[in-house]
Amino acid sequence: MNTSILKKWLVLIILITVTVSTNTFSADKGDSLFTQKTLLKAMRHVADWQVNQWNTSGFRHPKVDWTNGACYTGLFALGNISGNTKYLDLLRNIGNDLQWNTGRNRFHADYYCVAQTYAQLAISYRDPSMVAPFRLLADSIVSQPHKESLHWKNRIESREWAWCDALFMAPPALAYLTTATGEARYLNTASKLWWKTTDFLYDSSEHLYFRDESYFDKKEQNGKKVFWSRGNGWVMGGLVRVLENMPAKHPDRKRFEQLYKDMAARISGLQQDDGSWHASLLDPQSYPVKEMSGTGFYCYALAWGINHKLLDKNKYLPVVKKAWVVLNSAVQADGMLGYVQPIGASPDKVDESSTEVYGVGAFLLSGAELYKMAQKRII
């Protein structure tokens, strides 16, 4: 064979070998994120950074605040994995510090977000004292007429669920309280008020929620409607947490499931190539950076649906896996989760130094659902 031809063949073989090896390495590296060991390691890394921040610098927000309440949900999920009860001990200590009370603005959803973790702890430890103060508040919520319109005026948010974030803060608290007490009226009220908010804020043509009435006529730079990623992430996170406490024969169960499936299909179609969702769902180029709070809640909600056989694994597992990969890409060496949009009500800028406790909560909720998948050998 001609020497020059032989050299060309050798070069081609080397290139093919390198390409195959590189692709195999990349795939293996990606797959390694989904073992029980690596999932737990990632969760602990992020959780321990947050706990260390609290221990060394104090709480940036009041312990009873909705921001921390969202974080506690993730810490509870991690604490329920065998060998991680130190996180449950932390949550019990926080509850004791707060005397198991909710916030000062009694009927504002943000002020009783924390109660969903109280209820989960009460279920785990069979201790009704952990929900005793919230139960009194919940009885007051149940007894309210709830006849006001949800138009954004007269501080309606202090009495009704007039903004989409509220659907993560409040309904799960009431739903978990039903599971903790056996009293159906709390879940039934959560369902009734969920649909009141949905009738007002849900765009059935887009299968997405406006943040509140003030966004009905706003447009993004590309002319599309304004749908905030974390806002709809709050909704999907709230959806699955209500469903987790809703009996199969509950009269509203099918309606909740259909809403969940419609949103899951829409959200999965808006995922970016890197696995994330940007701050603006319909105008991702206006905020062309991965955003981890919305991404975390979508990863959690979609993974939950696979685990509960509401979503097709073949269709949605690739979406979840891509989301978990990009979530891990935002974790810095010390465990800080970056690219979390700050507190707000609409799409906004974000960078690697942006972090917040609710982003940590979403990350941990996602990891816990993926851990269940790994246990079941779904992934």
Q: Which residues are catalytic?
A: 165
Strand, helix or coil for residue 130: helix
Contacts of 274 (CB under 8 A, 6+ apart): 290, 322, 326, 329
Q: Which residue spans within 181-283 are E strands per DSSP?
A: 202-203, 208-209
CA–CA separation, 268 vs 341, rounded Å? 20
In this structure, which amino acid lies at residue 174?
Answer: L
Strand, helix or coil for residue 261: helix
Give whole-number Cα distances, 214 to 148, 163, 257, 271, in Å.
17, 10, 28, 26
Residue 278 region, left (φ>0) first, then alpha (ψ -120 to 50), else beta?
Answer: beta
Contacts of 271 (CB under 8 A, 6+ apart): 277, 298, 319, 322, 323
Reference 326, options 347, 352, 353; nearest CA is 352
